[in-house]
Amino acid sequence: MVATVAFGMGIDKPNVRFVAHLDLPKSMEGYYQETGRAGRDGLPADAWMVYGLGDVVSMRQMLEGSDTPEERKRLEQQKLNALLGYCESTACRHQTILRYFSEEHPGDCQQCDNCLHPVETWDGTEAARMALSCVYRSGQRFGAGHLIDILLGKATAQVTRFQHNTLSTFGIGQSLNQAQWSSVFRQLVAAGFLEADMEAYGGLRLTALARPLLKGETNIWLRRDPQTSKLSKAERASRHKEAFAGANDDPLWQALKAKRMELAREQEVPPYVIFHDSTLLEILNQRPGSLTEMSRISGVGAAKLERYGDAFLEVLEEFAR
């Protein structure tokens, strides 16, 4: 089953394995609640989020453009800042989340992307100054794409039309590539050095924070975006294996699987159509003694209970004897 966020909190489905955020949640509270739908059964589950400069700009625009009272807007801005800080964090994600809720996680979790693939940081002061100066000199009304063209010295049609090839910042940023500049701009917006101007169609302009950085009074460290932060196939397989490690040596587990295979062959369907592994694992761990007890196991709906309940109870009884 694949569901959207409309799949509400009222439904207590414990074996959700994957939560994907294609849009940013509005706050850490929202993120925690939404990702918390995965893995309630205690088995491994993944939370995955895509996030880029465009999301930061549009979230900030949405907030600025709404007609909520100023005070409420500031509060929402702070909540969004905390979430963006989490996105850009180079520390353990579990620690970062718990710290936000004033709790502690003992040590690194060794399960999040930052633990599995530690992120390097680099002194981005010089790059940030080039970026901010480029924003300033081009009139504080262009988006990151155009600004990066100027920094890289690309005389595109738009760059020449505005004579931005004559700016002192034209071509000064060739030590970084397109993706690296995009990362610099994203982090500058996320950290509040730049903001999207509603009246200039989301063009970037300097904030008060930018001044000390431009003047060389402060430094900034940036995260070096990894090439890929995905769990490798091998890591995923090993996590899955771990969850079932105890079960594999258990003869009852083998018997339950054999029964499932037998039913699957009879009905000419793949075994997971009878019961998912996680359901079978719960049967193994809970050892239900009756149909009522079995009905409480997640993945055992009324129809499956009627069709397969007795067959699996027989296996359990046989083992109990």
| Cα 72-199-65 angle, rounded to 5 deg | 20
Closest CB to Zn ion among 109 and 243? 109
Say how far apart CA 304 and CA 80 lie, in whole Å.
Answer: 44
Least distance (Å) from Zn ion to the CB of residue 62? 30
Q: Per CB under 5 A, which region of 6-14, 69-77, 110-118, 310-318 contacts Zn ion?
A: 110-118
Judged by CB under 5 A, the residue of 28, 45, 92, 256 near Zn ion is 92
HSE-up of residue 91 (Cα within 13 Å, Cβ side) = 11
Strand (E) or helix (H) holding 112 = none
Give Dmax over CA atoms of the chain in angstroms.
88
Least distance (Å) from Zn ion to the CB of residue 25? 19
Residue for token digits 């940030």?
A: 128
Closest CB to Zn ion among 116 and 252? 116
Least distance (Å) from Zn ion to the CB of residue 95? 7
Least distance (Å) from Zn ion to the CB of residue 108? 5
Residue for token digits 């399960």?
A: 111
What is the DSSP track for 63-77?
HHHS-S-HHHHHHHH
Q: Per CB under 5 A, which region of 108-116, 165-173, 229-237, 264-272 contacts Zn ion?
A: 108-116
Residues of span 197-256 touching Zn ion by CB under 5 A: none
- Residue 115 as a binder of Zn ion (CB under 5 A): the answer is yes
The SS3 assignment for 239 reads helix
Q: Per CB under 5 A, which region of 5-13, 109-117, 118-126, 244-252 contacts Zn ion?
A: 109-117
Count of CB atoms situated within 10 Å of the CB of 70 = 7
Which residues does residue 203 pair with via DSSP β-bridges, in sequence order?
197
Q: Per CB under 5 A, which region of 14-22, 107-115, 147-155, 279-287 contacts Zn ion?
A: 107-115
Q: Per CB under 5 A, which region of 72-80, 100-108, 199-207, 253-261 contacts Zn ion?
A: 100-108
Closest CB to Zn ion among 109 and 315? 109
Q: Per CB under 5 A, which region of 23-31, 33-41, 90-98, 217-225 contacts Zn ion?
A: 90-98
Least distance (Å) from Zn ion to the CB of residue 190? 20
Say how far apart CA 115 and CA 111 lie, in whole Å.
Answer: 6
Strand (E) or helix (H) holding 88 = helix 70-88
Say how far apart CA 123 and CA 23 lie, in whole Å.
Answer: 29
Least distance (Å) from Zn ion to the CB of residue 96? 8
Closest CB to Zn ion among 82 and 109? 109
Closest CB to Zn ion among 98 and 305? 98
Task: Count the residues of the shown chain that bind Zn ion, applying the rule CB under 5 A.
Answer: 6
CA-to-CA separations, 9 to 33, 138, 152, 305, in angstroms, rounded: 9, 48, 48, 25
HSE-up of residue 80 (Cα within 13 Å, Cβ side) = 23
Least distance (Å) from Zn ion to the CB of residue 42? 18
| 212 contacts: CB under 8 Å, gap ≥ 6 | 218
Least distance (Å) from Zn ion to the CB of residue 35? 14
Number of helices (H), then strands (E), in the chain: 16, 6
Closest CB to Zn ion among 48 and 136? 48
Q: Which residues bind Zn ion (CB under 5 A)?
A: 92, 94, 108-109, 112, 115
